[in-house]
């Protein structure tokens, strides 16, 4: 009887609409923490940048890249991460919903799994949630622009937050006062405030905060050949296992892409 019922009810599967994403286009999944402004305050994040959360985000992204080798590149900052899936990928038969949910659920799971080892004395009061979306980019130029956009966003926010929290923490300004001081200022004004009032050079801030975090798949032959010291651009680059490189590169400039032609090739 259950077998008959199952056969009879099988028609229900035709209600599942399997929309597939356009072939041969880059697929970018961006996840973003839900209400992390509150989450960060409830969990005593250091302001402007709590390294523990950034490292958790990076651990989660690294696990996602290991699990899904079709993700050739990822970029993270603050409570967000973008994953670039190769344009010829057949991941999850290119079904958007399945791609998004596989990535975001693993990401959230790893973030929570490693919480205690990273935050030690801070108890996780409730589970963080992340939203996710997938966007298609039809050519390399749009994809590069997308990545530049996220890194520029990181730069703008980090510069603002660095000034804001320096005024509050070291300048004894109230939050409202700091906000008023920064209102309408440009990048060079913020640099001046840091130098003139706090003798602090913005460029001395850690690259992980200024640039965010980049992960990408090594070229196959690069995996065995290159040694640590020969990695290009900066000494913070680390070689991970399974051919994933982690670093805090400038991905707006052409140089990064020129030196790694296999990524968008
Ligand atoms: P939404 O649900 O709309 O995304 P949100 O509160 O998460 O709301 P975002 O624009 O995503 O808003 O901003 C994330 C906020 O989380 C930042 O403004 C900052 O306050 C906080 N945050 C995220 N990561 C860190 C970190 N590593 N250190 C300190 N604060 C952080
Ligand atoms: P896919 O990623 O394609 O879903 P899957 O291995 O999850 O692969 P499913 O068809 O979803 O395949 O089947 C889930 C399997 O998980 C079951 O066949 C069973 O082996 C196992 N499983 C799930 N829940 C339980 C449970 N509560 N107790 C024992 N085994 C379970
Ligand atoms: Mg958001
Ligand atoms: Mg958020
Ligand atoms: Mg965000």
Residue-level pLDDT at 220? 72
Residue-level pLDDT at 70? 97
The packing angle between helices 175-182 and 187-198, to 10°, is 130
Which ligand 1 atom minimizes the distance to the CA of 54?
27
Residue-level pLDDT at 221? 63
Which ligand 1 atom minimizes the distance to the CA of 51?
27
**Percentage of residues of the chain with pLDDT beyond 70:** 92
Structure confidence by residue, pLDDT tens digits, 44-100: 999 999 999 999 999 999 999 999 999 999 999 999 999 999 999 999 999 999 999
| Section 173-198 average pLDDT | 97
pLDDT at 227 over 80: no
156 C-alpha to center of ligand 1: Å? 14
37 C-alpha to center of ligand 5: Å? 9
Residue-level pLDDT at 225? 47
Residues lying with their CB under 5 A of ligand 3, a single-atom ion: 32
Residue-level pLDDT at 184? 97
Residue-level pLDDT at 108? 98
pLDDT at 223 over 60: no
Ligand 1 test: best mutation among 40, 58, 156, most atoms within 8 Å of CB?
A: 40
| Section 232-259 average pLDDT | 76
Q: How far is CA 100 from CA 21, 77, 205, 218, 255, in A?
A: 12, 19, 33, 24, 30
78 C-alpha to center of ligand 3: Å? 11
Which of 87-96, 133-142, 169-178, 228-237 is predicted least confidently?
A: 228-237
**Percentage of residues of the chain with pLDDT beyond 90:** 89
Mean pLDDT of the chain: 93
Residue-level pLDDT at 229? 40
Residue-level pLDDT at 72? 98
Lookup: tokens for 28:
């970018």
Say which ligand is closest to the CA of 36: 1
80 C-alpha to center of ligand 5: Å? 5
| Section 192-219 average pLDDT | 97
Residue-level pLDDT at 242? 54
pLDDT at 24 over 60: yes
Q: 23-26: long-range contacts at Cβ-Cβ below 8 A with a sequence spacing of 24 or more?
A: 23/94, 24/87, 24/88, 25/87, 25/136, 25/137, 25/138, 26/84, 26/85, 26/86, 26/87, 26/136, 26/137, 26/138, 26/140, 26/142, 26/143
Domain regions of the chain by residue span: 18-146+213-259
CATH number of the structural domain 18-146+213-259: 3.30.70.3000
Which of 10-19, 157-166, 173-182, 254-263 is predicted least confidently?
A: 10-19
| Section 111-125 average pLDDT | 97
* Confidence category of residue 231, pLDDT binned at 50, 70, 90: very low
- Ligand 1 pocket residues where CB is under 6 Å: 32-37, 40, 45, 47, 49-50, 53-54, 78-79
């Amino acid at each position: 009887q259950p077998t008959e019922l199952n056969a009879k009810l099988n028609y229900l599967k035709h209600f599942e609409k399997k929309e597939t994403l356009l072939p041969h286009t880059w697929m970018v999944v961006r996840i973003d923490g839900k209400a992390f402004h509150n989450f960060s305050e409830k969990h005593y994040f250091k302001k402007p940048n709590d390294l523990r959360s950034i490292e958790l985000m990076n651990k989660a992204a690294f696990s996602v890249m290991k699990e899904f080798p079709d993700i050739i590149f990822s970029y993270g900052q603050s409570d967000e991460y973008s994953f670039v899936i190769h344009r010829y990928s057949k991941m999850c038969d290119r079904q958007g919903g399945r791609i998004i949910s596989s990535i975001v659920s693993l990401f959230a799971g790893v973030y929570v799994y490693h919480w205690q080892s990273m935050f030690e004395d801070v108890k996780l009061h409730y589970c963080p949630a992340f939203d996710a979306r997938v966007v298609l980019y039809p050519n390399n130029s749009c994809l590069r622009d997308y990545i530049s956009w996220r890194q520029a966003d990181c730069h703008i926010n980090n510069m603002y937050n660095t000034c804001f929290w320096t005024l509050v923490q070291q300048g004894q300004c109230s939050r409202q006062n700091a906000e008023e001081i920064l209102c309408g200022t440009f990048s060079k004004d913020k640099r001046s405030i840091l130098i003139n009032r706090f003798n602090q050079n913005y460029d001395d801030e850690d690259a992980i905060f200024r640039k965010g975090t980049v992960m990408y798949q090594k070229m196959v032959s690069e995996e065995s050949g290159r040694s640590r010291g020969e990695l290009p651009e900066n000494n913070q680059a680390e070689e991970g296992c399974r051919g994933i490189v982690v670093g805090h590169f400038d991905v707006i400039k052409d140089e990064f892409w020129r030196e790694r032609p296999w990524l968008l090739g």
